[in-house]
Structures are given as structure tokens and as C-alpha cells.
Structure 1
Amino acid sequence: MGKRDDHKAATRRQIQQATLDLLETAGVESTTVASIAERAGVSERTFFRYYDSKESAAVPGQGELLDALLSRELVPGASPAEILRELIDACRQQFAYEVEQVQFKRISRLLLREPRLLQAVSRQEMHLVDAVSSALTERAALTRMQAQLAAELIACTWRVAWQCFAREESAGRTSNPADLFEQAVQGLSVITAPEAFGR
């Protein structure tokens, strides 16, 4: 990473930190982009260079996941199963990166408390599925239906792992999000095994 990338990453973290601080104390309704920008020490214009809303600043993971999925190189002529495995691996790497960040526990608690954040996450997920399925179709890697299914499976695996973590956290149980992600991937492979479809 160069100086410019380091500065961007630091600004992004600063904005997210300020967003989480304000959402935890004031809630989604009372928190404004102006108050986040002021707390982060940036202008509103700078805020919007990094995030399109206060919700996306609080829960940036899916945007970063989308970037990771769209930039993943796929082997020409790979089978649908190989493509899905490659995309799940990109998802795994992004998940591990998020787990390294200390904010994920704060985000999980906020998601349980703030329904509006859950709505934002749902919108981000729909966007992710559309963008990934479109990219896979445009690359001629998969048929339109296969691309849609692959994108949905990736989004679902990501969501289920984080939901399981949030449930464990709210019940006061210690869990490792990366382990939960691997359990979700394992569950997916069991459920989607050929014998599940009876043909």
C-alpha cells in the first residue's frame, strides 16, 4: 500500500468509527451525515466520496465484498462448480479480513438493535447479487440462471455466517466468525450435493 492508499484507508476507518460511535449513542434516526463528518473531522463531501449513506458507513462489508468478487480472476472454461468455489474463496478471504477488524462486534450489536440498518444491509445484498450475476453473465462464465444462483448462494452464505455470529453474541456465547463462515460453506456443500435433488 502506498501513502495515498494508506490515507484513504485511514479516512475510511475514521468515518466508520465516527458513524458507529454516533449510532451507538444517538441511534440511526438522530444521527446525520453532517454529525458523522464533524466527528470524523472531514467534510460532508469527503464523507460521500467514501460512502453513499450513514448506513453504508456503518455496515461497509458488502461493498468491500462486492469489490473482491468483481475483481476475482476466473479461469476461462471453468465449470459452474469451480466458479462458485473460486467466488466462495474470495468471500472467505474478505470475511477473514473483516474479522481482523475490531468493528465487526459493534456492527453485529447495532444490527440487532437497529432495524433500519438491517434494511440497508438487505438493499446492499440485493445490489451485490445483481452486480455479481450481471458480471458473471457478461463474462460468459455462466448462464444467466446459473449466475443468479451463484450470486444468491454467495450472498446467503455471507449473511448466514454473520447472522449466526450475531445470535451467538446476543446470547453471550463466544464464537469465532471465521469458523461460522466455514460451517456455512460446509452446510452449503451438503445441501447442494447432487443427491439432494434426486436426479
Structure 2
Amino acid sequence: MGRWEPGARERLREAALELFTERGFEQTMVADIAERAGVTARTFFRYFTDKREVLFDGSADLANQVVDIAETMPPTASPLDVVAAVLDAVAEPVGDDRDRARARHAVITANTDLRERELIKQASLTAALTDALRQRGIGNPEAGLAAETGTAIFRVAFSQWINAAEKGDLQDVIRETLTRLRALTAP
């Protein structure tokens, strides 16, 4: 396949995940990823700064999406309703391929540096949501609490979803997890 063929970014992501799964993250070089994807290493670096970023591509777009969703919610929406809408939207791209999500998760959990990078990504999304809630006029402790709660809901639901034996939809698992949380806090 020629290096200027369309879809290079996606081919690089797929090749990287395959190689990380087969060989391990540390044992996979950028040149290996590029070769498997049918492009040059130079092309790889047009899309990604390093091989870690293949696993975290789109984080900035996701943070922007979080802010956009929070801004479009009705002014009367509670902080938890805003969080629910954000989680619903985030579940769509993350949950579109459970096998890929499982493989990505396995690669990340097998490597300390990648786990740290994943936590940094989650923290930046939480911060973006906290700021978006503040922009809606939610007070400082409440905005942070709601955003952190959203992150916890996502982590619990994601873990259940990737470890479930039966096929299921991530959005449904997130909604169920949120319902359980609301039941815990009901009088």
C-alpha cells in the first residue's frame, strides 16, 4: 500500500494495537508500526509524536466535546444531568468496538507509563468538565465533585463493560451505573 493512501492514521492505530498486543509495548518500535501500516516512519510522525500517542489519539478532541456538551445543556440542568449527558456522548466513540477497547486496555494496564498517561488523560477530561460546570455557574466544590463523580462512574462502567461475558452497549452500562449511584444517594 502506498504511503499516501488515505486512512494512514487509522491504519497506524490498528497496526500499533496489533503489535502492542503481539509483542508488548516496549518491544514494538515506531518503524515496526509504520511497516505494518504500509507507511514510512516519517509518515508515522506526521500523525503522532511518539508511539504512546497512538493509544491516546483524540484526547484533545474529547475534552473539547466535553465542554461543548456542557455548554449546550439547558440552564436548568443539574450538574449530575450535565455529567450524564457528557458520559453518554463519551461512551459513543469509546464504546464503538469492545474488542478494540479490551485490547487497548490490556496494553495500557500492562505498562506503568501507559497507566500513568491514561490517568493524566482522565484527569484532564475531569478538569475540562469541572471548568465547564463552573462556566455554568456551579460552585467550585460542587463542580469538582460532579466531574470527579462522572470520572468514577465512567471507570466503574468501563470496567464492567470490557469484562462482561455478554455483548452489551457501553452507554447502557454507564446509564445503569449512574442509576445505581443515584439510588445510593436517594433518601
Q: TM-score, normalised by structure 1?
A: 0.71
Q: Could you say which residue in structure 1 is the equivalent of 2:3?
A: none
Offset, 1:53: 4.2
Structure with the larger RCO, 1 or 2 (CA within 8 Å, 6+ apart): 2
Match 2:158 to one of 138, 146, 162? 162
1:94–1:126 distance in 2 versus 1, CA, 3 Å: closer
Q: Which runs of 5+ in 2 are unaligned?
A: 1-5
Match 2:183 to one of 176, 185, 190? 190
Tell me the distance in 2 between the aligned counterparts of 1:47 and 1:84.
40
Indicate the structure with greater helix content.
1
Q: Is the 8 A contact 1:19 1:57 kept in 2?
A: yes
1:83-162 pair list within 5 angstroms: 83-101=79-97, 103-137=100-134, 139-162=135-158
SS at match of 2:138: coil
Tell me the distance in 2 between the aligned counterparts of 1:19 and 1:126.
24
Q: Is the 8 A contact 2:34 2:41 kept in 1?
A: yes
Offset, 1:84: 2.8
Match 1:174 to one of 163, 166, 173? 166
1:76-87 pair list within 5 angstroms: 77-79=75-77, 81=78, 83-87=79-83
Tell me the distance in 1 between the aligned counterparts of 2:94 and 2:138.
28
Deviations 1:25-75 (A, max 9, x none): 221112234433343344556545544543342254755542321221334
Identity among equivalent pairs (%): 25
Q: Which runs of 5+ in 1 are unaligned?
A: 1-6
Give the number of equivalent residue pairs: 179
Q: Is the 8 A contact 2:75 2:136 kept in 1?
A: no
Offset, 1:76: 6.1
SS at match of 2:144: helix
1:34–1:88 distance in 2 versus 1, CA, 3 Å: farther
Tell me the distance in 2 between the aligned counterparts of 1:158 and 1:47.
31
* CA RMSD between the two structures: 2.9
1:14–1:31 distance in 2 versus 1, CA, 3 Å: same
